[in-house]
Structure 1
């Protein structure tokens, strides 16, 4: 068993779960401006109130796993992306504080709404910038330290991926709200889903074209190794998801749009993983070069074997207990 690959898969799973779970509750803040009514905003927040803070567990798992198993990546990548990650954490703090305080505020509630919108959109944007900067590659010195500048992360490509992740989270949030609401609010949410899908498809196309163009190693992997032919079904699957999304919106489905949005996110995520494999830091350091000793990996894997099922269990239980629609005037879920 190649324990390094196992750990890479665990961290990739943790990041994907974070993107999906925290993505849709960040997305609710991003679509807030489309729904200015105070009661509707309260209802929208109530759809994630019981589960939102638990969603970030997966981000902690990914960061802890990276520190324990790929310390070189942890030190180098965090040094390169220090500023966008600090900005992201600041936005998450604003989002979390506003989430709690706006429910108790009266005169300043509109200010906390702005904090919720800005914190959600800002966190998504800086996460996307960090992703774009990572895909571009991070210069690494011979001793394994970061060899670039403080603002190497700020490029046109990283700005594009930042906006693309904002669109991704907005679609996830909107589709989640479609599944959790009904009536007039749900009808208006349905009208927002398809335009957001179009915007996301545009970003998927731009990032897919730009990624191999800005990195010769990725282009080599895509087009000179036979990988391109194996990835040909992916664009067709994306188009299929988009087609069924259009039908689901037109026919006013409740849960289907969220499932299709998850499908679009998964397809995009697979494309990114394939692009960077087998590098832990694209074009610089492979997974095996960055990995901790096998004994350390096995020790932490034993802990992960206990912790991950527990996280999955309580996450699943939380969503099961609070399943169903959330309606105005209700103080409980059913």
Structure 2
């Protein structure tokens, strides 16, 4: 027996979502493994700098390094962050390596630990990075009374050492892992939501599910069906098959429909449309353009449609706190219209 078209689309979308989830999980697992091994190496086996060759190899390989210093030049400090009444400063020192200066950035607490060190040597740990234009400008400003910018370029290495703990050196990987975790959660949420919607349909129609699917498929192919992006409105059903939302809702169960705006990071705005059924199920579709949403709203605003059209804060409050009251009110209003 041939699979109905809308079921094919649902299964294809589900397979794509599962593939994306698998890729995200594998990628996340690799990053976790890399973080754990890097932390272990940074803690127990950093690249120890004992010679200029060690230093050059570490620069070439972007290693996490450990070096022992007995002397340094205090280059000064620059304010980098204000947290309430507390001001955090980054300090810069210079270390002589093979007649050239390696610039080292050290945070406030570590700098004071270095200054107050009583022994003749001090252990520095961190990662080497290229000196940015902003850092170069900062160093030129700090040393403007002692050395010209041209002389500074000749005397210092192109890389600088950023003091970091073994865990702090993993900051960039941890940030990537955090965003991957969010994407994985979103992907799982979408899969669960759509699977729940499909299970609900199968449970509702039982042994007649195949017949129901064929009926929906036939109506979707009819020339009278209204197709607007991911949403198709047939004679008896609303079918949504967007990348993030799947549902099939009988039109006579559509209680409320309204358009809205989803804001991302307070900068990006995307139009959305929300469908709420008399069974208190709520579906929002954001992956649609504004014109399609407006066409759907206009369609459901036509005379003869029994749903509530348009957003209302009062209705939204009632749906959140007393959904049964809203359903009864909607049914009562429709009964009054039918009896007239």
Report the TM-score when normalising by structure 2. Answer: 0.22
Larger strand fraction of residues: 2
Tell me which structure has the larger Cα radius of gyration: 2
Report the TM-score when normalising by structure 1. Answer: 0.23
Larger helix fraction of residues: 1
